[in-house]
Structure formats: structure tokens, C-alpha cells
Amino acid sequence: MRGQRNPRTSKVRWGWLPSGLDSLVLAAVIAAFAAGFFSQWTNAGVNVYWKWEQLQAAARDVIFRRLETLPKPDSSSGSVTPITSLVPVTASYQQLEFVPEATYVVDASLGSEAMPTVHVPEVPNLHQLTGFEHEYQQPNNCGPATLAIAMRYWGWQGNQATIAQVLKPELRDKNVRWDELVYYVRTRAGWLDALFRVGGDTGTLERFVSQGFPVIIETGYELDVGWVGHYLVVSGYNRDAGVFTVQDVTGGPDREISYDKLAALWEHFNQLYVLVFPAEKRSEVIRLLGDHAQLDRNRYIALRRTRAGTEADAGNAFAWFAYGSNLNHFNRYDDAAVAFDRARDLGLPWRMLFYQFGPYIAYFNVGRYQDVIDLASATLQARPALEESYVWRGWARHMVGDTVGARADFRSALRVNPNFTDAVTALDAVGE
């Protein structure tokens, strides 16, 4: 889980505040001083820290957050393009201008690697992998805890704390990206390798699980606090019963989830999946990926699928968001901005930009810097521990001439995650 829990508000009042805010504000002020101390604790202290963070989150929800969705695009600004401007997906993927994988994932070998046809034994109707050592997540630790479970399946020795020391040394850092998970495996796990792809489906999960490979997926997740992003390890399936088995660091081991529900929640993250495997099994993984082995072809297939999804259900905000994410990959930022505008207009969860940053990328690249600043500010008001939002806001501020504000944002990103190289690079670029 990467969300917070809301306590009941107090009945005490201060005359200058709206009803119900007083004790929440006081708790937040106390928590602000205490958080730095408690965040250095381990074991018993982590529970105390988590309670303080919950109080801070509750206060911010009452004071700053006004909507249950991301702010919608402002058509009066003239920056929103009509949806009819989208260019149809007609070109083959070879004709598109490609961009490399994310900075964390240097995977040049797949750029020229052949795209083999999938030839595997017939997938059985039922298959369950066993031998998982479960671990419940600590605060904001969904990614490290999930990755630890997947890596221990292959004999790795370590836990979520081992991973978090590298990827999120500060407890208050709320999210670990999928490419950071891959980065950790490739640089810190010795004999293991990893990669991620998008546009998976139930057949993808069945194929890999039946061949002995658990699959990490990122999905939406509904809690009493509302929508959050969440990682799961898919470890089994029963086609006849219509259920997958997942290892869930919030909900517990060996949970069952229906095919339909998993597919619906997985769409919220562009059907993204991460494969962790022994390095000597790389050729087998590539073979099982088939047409999705080469990254740009994988993205092109996903681009066509998400475009079809918007045509089949024009009111599906998550389909539009995923479509924008895939357009970004091919530098089609004008089209991506339109897709993200449509997704926001339909209504996206207010935590959406905790985990995915496509709108920042598209708006920045088409010169909509104020949109980047406004979206990042709304997100950071809700939760001020998101290093990616600080960096994107910093760059947007830099582009509009606010160098002081840009430097402050880059430094704030490093306070959230001292290992965030994007912020270090940004500070160097602006002369600090």
C-alpha cells in the first residue's frame, strides 16, 4: 500500500480555521518536527513514524486537497487541443523515431535482438508456483517488499530494507518506480537479471507462470483511503476458476483475484510487468516474450492496443492515460498531451502522479510549463515527498525563468531521495 489512512477530525476549533481542522493542523505541526527523528528509526520506531505520517496526511487532505481527482485541464487557457486532433496510429513501428529505455535501464542489447516467435508447451489450465517467503511492507515500501519476494524466489538473500537502502533511503519517499526495480536487480543482485514491458494480458501472465517465472505487475488498488498504486507478484492461475494467485505485501500471501478484476486494475498502469530471473535464463525469457522482446515493438503493440481501447470506450480515463504514455515513448508529445487532457477531463485519481509522470513529460515537451507547475504543485500539496514531481516542477520553473524556484525544487527532491540522480544532474545543469 502506498496510501495513507484518515483519522477522525477533532471538534476543537480555532476561530480562523474551518471547522474540524484545529487538532489536525496541530498534529501536522508536531509531526513535521518529529518525522525527521522517527524516520531514522527501525523496527519498533517505524510504527510510531507511520502513525505520525498518517496524521500529517490527514491534515493535508483537509487543508490542501479539494477534489478526489487530479485537476482538470483549463480550456480557457487555450493550451488544450480538441481530441479530434489526434493522429491515427497507421505507421509501422519501424517508421517511428525511437527513444531509448529510461535512464535507469540500459538495455541496448534488446535494440538489435531478434524478435522470435513464441514456441512454448501448451499452457495448462492450472499452474501454481510455490516457495515464496512472504514479507509485509513497511511504510511506503510496496515496491521494495514486492521485489524482495520475487528475488527470494530465485535464492537471493535479503529483504525490503536491503532494497530500500538503495532505492528509497528516506521512509517518507512514497514511490519506487518500475525502472528503479529493474535497476536494482541489474546492479545489486549478482546472478539475477530483470526487464519490464507494457501491454501485457492474462495470456502473458499464464505463459510466464506456467514456465516457472513469477511476474511482478503494477495495478490500481482500492483501500478505505481510496485509490492507490500497488505492486503484486503473480504466482499462479486457475483458468477454470477464473482466478490468479498473487503475493500481496499489503493483503497477504497467496491471495486470489479474478481475471476480470486483475485486468481492470492492471489497465491503470498500462498493463506493465517486471520479470526477474537468473541471468542464464535470459534467452528463455526473450523467447517467451516473442514479439514483445524488442522494446520499441512492444511499445508499438501497446500503442495500438491502447488506441483501440479509447475507441472502444471513449469514457475510460485510464485507457486515455495509457495511450498518452505510449505516445510519449515515440516522442509524439502533441498527441500525448491531447490524450492526457482527455484523461484528466474524464477524471483521474488524485494520487495518479505519485506513480506515473506522463503528463509532465508531454506538457513539458510541448511548452506547457505552467501546466507542469500546476499539476506538480497540486500533487505536492497533497503529499510533499515525491521527488519526481519536484524535479519536473523544477525544470518547468527553470524554463519560465524562475531559477531560484528550480534550484529549491531540485534540492527538495534530494531531501526526499538522496540517491535521485535526476535531481543531481538538474542542479549541475542550473549551476549549483
Question: What tens digit of pLDDT does each residue of 250-264 get?
Answer: 999 999 999 999 999
pLDDT of residue 71: 85
The whole-number average pLDDT for the span 25-29 is: 45
Residue 375 lies in a domain: no
Predicted TM-score of the model (pTM): 0.81
| Domain-terminating residue out of 275, 293, 311 | 293
Contact predicate 338/75, CB 8 Å: no
40 with 144, same domain: the answer is: no
pLDDT of residue 393: 98
pLDDT of residue 33: 45
Residue 337 lies in a domain: no
For cell 534530494, what's the residue?
Answer: 414
Residue 95: count other Cβ atoms within 10 Å of its Cβ: 8
249 with 126, same domain: the answer is: yes
Contact predicate 229/269, CB 8 Å: yes
Encode burial over 269-293: b for 16+ CB neighbours within 10 A, e otherwise.
bbbbbbbbbeeebeeebbbbbbebb
Query: Residue 94: pLDDT above 80?
Result: no
Residue 92 lies in a domain: no
Distance (Å, whole) CA 22 – CA 243 = 47
Residue 308: count other Cβ atoms within 10 Å of its Cβ: 13
Residue 432 lies in a domain: no
Query: Residue 198: pLDDT above 80?
Result: yes
Pairing verdict, β 226-238 and 215-223: antiparallel
Residues 6+ apart with CB under 8 A from 302: 198, 199, 270, 271, 322, 326
| Domain-terminating residue out of 270, 293, 316 | 293
pLDDT of residue 21: 43
Q: Which amino acid is at 53?
A: E
Query: Residue 14: pLDDT above 60?
Result: no
Query: Higher pLDDT residue, 120 or 235?
Result: 235
Residue 395: count other Cβ atoms within 10 Å of its Cβ: 22
The whole-number average pLDDT for the span 195-209 is: 97
119 with 51, same domain: the answer is: no
163 with 249, same domain: the answer is: yes
- Band (pLDDT 50/70/90 cuts) for residue 95 is very low
Residue 405 lies in a domain: no
Contact predicate 294/111, CB 8 Å: yes
pLDDT of residue 98: 36
| Domain-terminating residue out of 277, 293, 309 | 293
The CATH number for 122's domain is 3.90.70.10
Task: Report CA Rg, the chain.
Answer: 22
3-state DSSP assignment of residue 221: strand
- Band (pLDDT 50/70/90 cuts) for residue 118 is low
Query: Residue 300: pLDDT above 80?
Result: yes
The total domain count for the chain is 2
Angle between helices 333-346 and 358-365 (to 10 degrees): 130
38 with 139, same domain: the answer is: no
Q: Give the range of the structural domain holding residue 13, as residue numbers without chain letter.
A: 1-63
Residue 429 lies in a domain: no
Query: Residue 427: pLDDT above 60?
Result: yes
User: And the C-alpha cell for 406?
Assistant: 528550480
24 with 126, same domain: the answer is: no
* Mean pLDDT across the chain: 82
Contact predicate 391/420, CB 8 Å: yes
